[in-house]
Structures are given as C-alpha cells and as structure tokens.
Amino acid sequence: KCVSSIFKVILYLLENSDCSPNDLITSLGVAKSNIANILKSMIVENLVESYRCKDNSRNIFYRINYIIT
C-alpha cells in the first residue's frame, strides 16, 4: 500500500471527522479500490472505525478511532 495515501487519509479524517468513502475519493483523488483497501487495513489496525448513520443505514462513514487498546 502507498504510505502517502494512508497519511492523506489519516490527515483528512483528523481534519474532517465522519467522512464517507466518496468524501475521501473526491477530496484526495485516490481511486475507489485503493480507498477501500486503505480503510480496510486501517480498521484491522484499529486506527479507523466505520459506522452507519441512524437516519440512513445504507451510508457508511469513517472516523479516527481514538480508543487506545
């Protein structure tokens, strides 16, 4: 994985909490498949968490996980 893309995602999520994949794709100019892979690995590493909005459960959002385990 491209380290610079991972840092871009981290910085973007720190500055703009609660982002959809489309927010990341359009703002960072990273391909959809790359964003999916980056977010998946970041979730496994417990850096990012995903959640669904109560109003619309079809939309997924991501935010930095501040819980230290």
What length is written for the chain? 69
What burial class does residue 15 get, using C-beta atoms within 10 Å of its C-beta: 0-12 exposed, 13-18 middle, 19+ buried?
Answer: exposed
Q: What is the end-to-end Cα distance of the chain in Å, rounded?
A: 24
CA–CA gap between residue 30 and residue 25 (Å, rounded): 5
Whole-model pTM: value is 0.82
What is the pLDDT, as a whole number, of residue 18? 87
Tens digits of per-residue pLDDT, 1-54?
Answer: 567 888 899 999 999 978 999 999 999 998 999 999 999 999 999 999 999 988
